[in-house]
Structure 1
Amino acid sequence: MGNADDPVADDSHRDHDCEAAGTLAFVAHYGAPGTGQAWTCTRCGKAWSRVDGVFWPADQGVHILSIDDVQ
């Protein structure tokens, strides 16, 4: 297993729905005001982005702008 104090190390928390479990905790705003927010799951440690009111796994990069987004 892992350290009981480290939510990421505990494999029993790997198979859950972060959004449905209500375990997402706000971390910070990023970008221009209202652009996006960083969140993390307090149960498994997975990073999430909230863009336009929709949560996306941060590793999908939805929160990263391209040149086309700003022209």
Structure 2
Amino acid sequence: MAVKLVWSKRADQGFARIVKYLEEKWTDKEVSNFVGEAKHFFDLLKENPQMLETTWRHNNLYRGPINRTG
């Protein structure tokens, strides 16, 4: 069962900042690939929220970084 992802204002602004930085440093193709992979990750996360840890206050809320590799 898919869940709805809700971004905090801080997370939304942070992701936008990352994409803007990448647009200045990377090629359009690289940025497009990054955004596509991020969207794929978010789709996986909607189907498998247990990929991340629950928050300490709410067992039905999950949190985690998306900026780590491997």
TM-score > 0.5 by shorter chain:
no
Q: Which TM-score band applies after superposition, normalised by the shorter structure?
A: under 0.3
Flag the structure with more relative contact order, 1 or 2, with Cα contacts below 8 A and sequence separation at least 6: 2
* Structure with greater strand percent: 1
- The TM-score, its normalising length taken from structure 1, stands at 0.22
* Structure with greater helix percent: 2
